[in-house]
């Protein structure tokens, strides 16, 4: 869903989260996440690594930006477009030596 349309009062399904459509919701289900509240206090970097393992390939790193956006949102942050986290992701991965 577009971050501009997200309402915390209407978080019933994964597609009610910012930046999550049908395909991303299916990726989350593959990780065992079936409800938005399952993302509270989740580590977006660990979720991304798990998704790469499940899909048996390196997933587009923009998916990590999406995971950051939804975990931050579920931890109380504002709904932001996924690309608002790209610079942070790049900096964090560089710090970890994983560019």
Domain of residue 41, CATH code: 1.10.150
Look up the pTM and report it.
Answer: 0.94
Compute mean pLDDT per 10 residues along the chain, 99 residues long, and list them.
88 96 97 97 97 97 98 96 97 87
Classify residue 1: in a domain, yes or no: no
Range of the structural domain that residue 57 is part of = 12-95
Amino acid 99: pLDDT: 62
Classify residue 2: in a domain, yes or no: no
**Beta-carbon neighbour count of residue 86 at 10 Å?**
15
Amino acid 1: pLDDT: 83
Distance CA 99, CA 92 (A): 9
Classify residue 59: in a domain, yes or no: yes
Q: Give how many domains the chain has, as a whole number.
A: 1
């Amino acid at each position: 869903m577009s971050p501009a349309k997200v309402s915390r009062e209407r978080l019933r399904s994964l597609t009610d989260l910012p930046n999550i459509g049908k395909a991303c919701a299916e990726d989350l289900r593959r990780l065992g996440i079936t409800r938005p509240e399952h993302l509270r206090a989740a580590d977006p970097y660990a979720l991304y690594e798990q998704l790469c393992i499940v899909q048996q390939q390196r997933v587009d790193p923009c998916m990590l930006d999406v995971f950051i956006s939804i975990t931050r949102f579920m931890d109380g942050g504002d709904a932001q477009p996924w690309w608002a986290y790209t610079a942070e992701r790049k900096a964090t991965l560089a710090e970890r030596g994983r560019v």
